[in-house]
C-alpha cells in the first residue's frame, strides 16, 4: 500500500485551537485522567522496521497523530500544532529485558501479570504532566517491551483529547493489518478535524439561560449528596490501576440474551451491578437508601453534522450523568432497567448535547478546586460505562503476528469515576478492563468490588 503525506502549500505548520471538550481533557490529563493506552501482548518477535513503517502510515492517514500540543500561559489556552509532514524522528521507544524487569519490580504482586503491569506503567507515564510553553509535546507515543525471551508488549499511548475508544479500536484494526502487510482501508483525514462542538447539529445544543442555571445548580447540589466507595488513602500521590472482569462465552451469551429480551443494553447491567456491589460493601441496613451517580459515554459520530465514520480519529464522545437511589435487596434486572431507561430518556431529550458545556465546566471546576468533591477525591461518579460494547473476534491476522491479548483503556487517577469500565466482547466472551485510582482505592478493595459485581451478574442469570 502506498501512502503519501498530505500536500501543503507551504512549510508552515497548521494551528487549531482546541475545542471546549478537548480543553477539558487538556486540563485533566496533567492531573492523571485521560492517558489512553492500547497494549498488545505478542508471542512472536515483532518486525521493528515493519512496525515503524506501519506507524508512519497511520500518522499520514491521521495527521493528529503527528501533531503536538501547545500551551499558551498568557491565555491558559491549548492548540494543536500540525507540521506539514510527519516527524521523521518519531521512533518506537524500546525496553530490553533488563529495563522491563526494572519496571516490573515496582509491583511485586504475584497475581498481576507482567502484561497488566506494563499497561499500568504506560497509563502512569505522563509527558503532559507539566505544560511547558517553550516546548510543545507530542500527542502519540509508541513503546516496545521485551518481557521474556518469548513475550513482548507493544503499547500505544495517546492524549485522550484526540483519541476516544472508537479511535483506539480503529487504530488497532489498522495497525494489525499493516503489521501483516495487508491492504487496509485506512482513515483519510487530510487535516486535524474540528472538535465535537463544531459538529453538533444546529439547535441541538441550545438551552435557555435559566434552564442552564437550574441544571448547573442541580448537578452541584446532587454531587454533595452522592455516596462513594470507601476511600482508603486520600493523601498519597495517585496512579491508575486495572482489574479485569471476565465472563465465559456461555455466561456472556446468557447476559446478552437477557438484555435483548428486556430491550436494554449491557451498559445498564454493568452500571446496576456496580451500584449493588458498592452498596453491599457498606454493610448498612437494607432499608437505608444511598444515592450514586453513573456516567454513560455516548459515541456521537453517527449523529453529528457531518456524520463521521468509526475510523475518524478524535474525541467525539459526550457524557450523560444520572443519579440513582439504591437500597438493599435490589433486583439486578429491575435496577438495570432503571439505569438504562434514565439514560435513554436523557439522550432522547438531547442532554448529551445540551448538557455538554455544563459537564465540561463542572469537570474543570473540580480540577481547579478538588475540595469541592468528597474528601478532595476528585470523584465525580461511582462508575462510568459506555453506551455500546466493543466487539472483537480473532482472525488469522491475530495468529500470524502472535497476538495473545490486548487491552485498551485510559487513566482516571485525576478527576473522574471510582471505576471506569472499558468493556469488550472478544470471541464471544465479555472482558472488562476496570480502571481505578490507587491508593484512593486499594487493589484488594477493587478486586473485591469487581468480584462482587461479577457475582451479582451471575446470580441474576439464574
Please determine, for residue 207, whether its predicted confidence score (pLDDT) is greater than 80: no
Report the C-alpha gap between 174 and 388 in whole angstroms. 21
User: Do 14-194 and 197-460 fold alike per CATH?
Assistant: yes
Nearest to 240 by CA among 453, 415, 108, 452: 415
Q: Beta partners for 151?
A: 148
What average pLDDT score do residues 223-241 get?
91
pLDDT tens column, 308-332: 998 899 999 999 999 999 998 999 9
Report the C-alpha gap between 109 and 105 in whole angstroms. 9
147 within 8 A of 118, measured Cβ to Cβ: yes
Grid coordinates representing 168 are 483506539
Secondary structure of residue 217 in the 3-state scheme: helix
DSSP of 426-459: ETTEEEEEEEEEETTS-HHHHHHHHHHHHHHHHH
The neighbour count for residue 175, using CB atoms within 10 Å, is 21
Q: How confident is the model at residue 6 (pLDDT cuts 50, 70, 90)?
A: very low
Alpha helix locations (H) across 327-395? 332-348, 351-354, 356-368
The mean pLDDT value of the chain amounts to 90
Q: Which residues are CB-contacts of 443 (< 8 A; sequence separation ≥ 6)?
A: 109, 241, 243
The neighbour count for residue 344, using CB atoms within 10 Å, is 17
pLDDT tens column, 8-28: 445 788 999 999 999 999 999
User: Environment class of residue 106 by beta-carbon count within 10 Å: exposed (0-12), middle (13-18) or buried (19+)?
Assistant: exposed
Lowest mean pLDDT among 174-183, 262-271, 308-317: 174-183
Please determine, for residue 202, whether its predicted confidence score (pLDDT) is greater than 70: yes
Tell me what percent of the residues of the chain surpass a pLDDT of 90.
74
Domain coordinates of the chain in residue numbers? 14-194, 197-460
Lowest mean pLDDT among 87-96, 149-158, 250-259, 266-275: 87-96
pLDDT tens column, 209-223: 556 565 656 566 566
Q: How confident is the model at residue 3 (pLDDT cuts 50, 70, 90)?
A: very low
Grid coordinates representing 322 are 444520572
- The architecture of the domain spanning 14-194 is 2-Layer Sandwich (3.30)
Classify strands 390-392 and 416-426 as parallel, antiparallel or unpaired: parallel
Alpha helix locations (H) across 203-292? 209-225, 249-262, 266-280
Query: Whole-prediction pTM value?
Result: 0.94
Residue corresponding to grid cell 471510582:
418
Grid coordinates representing 326 are 439504591
Q: Please report the pLDDT score of residue 36 as a whole number.
A: 98
Grid coordinates representing 252 are 456472556
Report the C-alpha gap between 363 and 376 in whole angstroms. 14
Q: How confident is the model at residue 372 (pLDDT cuts 50, 70, 90)?
A: confident
What average pLDDT score do residues 389-416 get?
89
Report the C-alpha gap between 36 and 28 in whole angstroms. 12
Write the CATH number of the domain with boundaries 197-460.
3.30.559.30
Q: How confident is the model at residue 270 (pLDDT cuts 50, 70, 90)?
A: very high
Amino acid at each position: 500500500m502506498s501512502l503519501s503525506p498530505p500536500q501543503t502549500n507551504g512549510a508552515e505548520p497548521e494551528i487549531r485551537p482546541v475545542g471546549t471538550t478537548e480543553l477539558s481533557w487538556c486540563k485533566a490529563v496533567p492531573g492523571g485522567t485521560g492517558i489512553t493506552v492500547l497494549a498488545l501482548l505478542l508471542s512472536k518477535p515483532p518486525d521493528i522496521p515493519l512496525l515503524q513503517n506501519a506507524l508512519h502510515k497511520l500518522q499520514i492517514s491521521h495527521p493528529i497523530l503527528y501533531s503536538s500540543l501547545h500551551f499558551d500561559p498568557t491565555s491558559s489556552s491549548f492548540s494543536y500544532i500540525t507540521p506539514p509532514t510527519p516527524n521523521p524522528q518519531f521512533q518506537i521507544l524500546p525496553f530490553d529485558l533488563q529495563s522491563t524487569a526494572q519496571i516490573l519490580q515496582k509491583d511485586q504482586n504475584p497475581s498481576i501479570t507482567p502484561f497488566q503491569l506494563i499497561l499500568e506503567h504506560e497509563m502512569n507515564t505522563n509527558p503532559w504532566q507539566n505544560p511547558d510553553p517553550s516546548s510543545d509535546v507530542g500527542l502519540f507515543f509508541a513503546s516496545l517491551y521485551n518481557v521474556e525471551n518469548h513475550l513482548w508488549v507493544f503499547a500505544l499511548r495517546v492524549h485522550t483529547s484526540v483519541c476516544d475508544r472508537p479511535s483506539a479500536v480503529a487504530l488497532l484494526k489498522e495497525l494489525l493489518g499493516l503489521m501483516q502487510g495487508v491492504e487496509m482501508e485506512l482513515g483519510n483525514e487530510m487535516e486535524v478535524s474540528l472538535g465535537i462542538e463544531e459538529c453538533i447539529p444546529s439547535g441541538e445544543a441550545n438551552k435557555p439561560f435559566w434552564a442552564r442555571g437550574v441544571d448547573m445548580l442541580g448537578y452541584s447540589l446532587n454531587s454533595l449528596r452522592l455516596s462513594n466507595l470507601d476511600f482508603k488513602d486520600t493523601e498519597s500521590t495517585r496512579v491508575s490501576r486495572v482489574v479485569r472482569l471476565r465472563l465465559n462465552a456461555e455466561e456472556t451469551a446468557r447476559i446478552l440474551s437477557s438484555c435483548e429480551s428486556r430491550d436494554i443494553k449491557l451498559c445498564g447491567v454493568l452500571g446496576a451491578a456496580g451500584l449493588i456491589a458498592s452498596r453491599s460493601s457498606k454493610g448498612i441496613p437494607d432499608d437505608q437508601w444511598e444515592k450514586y451517580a453513573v456516567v454513560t459515554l455516548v459515541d456521537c459520530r453517527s449523529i453529528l453534522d457531518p456524520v463521521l465514520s468509526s475510523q475518524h480519529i478524535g474525541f467525539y464522545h459526550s457524557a450523560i450523568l444520572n443519579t440513582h437511589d439504591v437500597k438493599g435487596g435490589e433486583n439486578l434486572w429491575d435496577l438495570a432497567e432503571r439505569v438504562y431507561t434514565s439514560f435513554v430518556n436523557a439522550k432522547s431529550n438531547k442532554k448529551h448535547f445540551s448538557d455538554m458545556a455544563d459537564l465540561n465546566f463542572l469537570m474543570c471546576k473540580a480540577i481547579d478546586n478538588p475540595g469541592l468533591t468528597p474528601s478532595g477525591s476528585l470523584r465525580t461518579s461511582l462508575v462510568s460505562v459506555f453506551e455500546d460494547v466493543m466487539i472483537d473476534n480473532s482472525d488469522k491476522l491475530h495468529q500470524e503476528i502472535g497476538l495473545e491479548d490486548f487491552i485498551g483503556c485510559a487513566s482516571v487517577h485525576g478527576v473522574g469515576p471510582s471505576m471506569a469500565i472499558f468493556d469488550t466482547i472478544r470471541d464471544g466472551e465479555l472482558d472488562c478492563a476496570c480502571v481505578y485510582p490507587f491508593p484512593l482505592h486499594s487493589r484488594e478493595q477493587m478486586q473485591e468490588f469487581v468480584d462482587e459485581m461479577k457475582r451479582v451478574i451471575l446470580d441474576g442469570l439464574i
